[in-house]
Amino acid sequence: MFNELELIEQTAIGLFQSLSYDYLDCYHETFGKSGTLGRETPSDVVLIPRLKQSLISLNPSVSSEAINLAIEELIRDLLLPKLINGEIDVEGVGYNH
């Protein structure tokens, strides 16, 4: 009998690997800035450290401030539920990592 991991996840993993994406099994992920992926919580869907490095690589002449503003703009809608639920405050929205 097949389970969800075999039917869906393994198929998706194989597809992404065939497209040259990296795969990392994070079933036992640790959280925090020095965690496995740099996420604070499992609900963080954007990997901020990787996004920032990619933006810097693609835009080497752009200032750190502009990179941080771009990150804030890209993830703004993702932060709205956390702001509404009081999980973060307006002061905690910046990503000056």
Long-range contacts of 69-74 (CB under 8 A, 24+ apart): 71/95, 74/46
pLDDT at residue 97, rounded to an integer: 46
Write out the chain's pLDDT in tens, 97 residues: 567 767 888 889 999 999 999 888 888 999 988 999 988 888 888 888 889 999 999 999 999 999 999 998 888 877 666 666 666 655 544 544 4
pLDDT at residue 79, rounded to an integer: 67
pLDDT at residue 26, rounded to an integer: 86
DSSP state letter for 63: -
C-alpha closest to that of 39 among 84, 97, 80? 97
- Whether the model clears a pTM of 0.95, i.e. scores above it, the answer is no
pLDDT at residue 19, rounded to an integer: 95
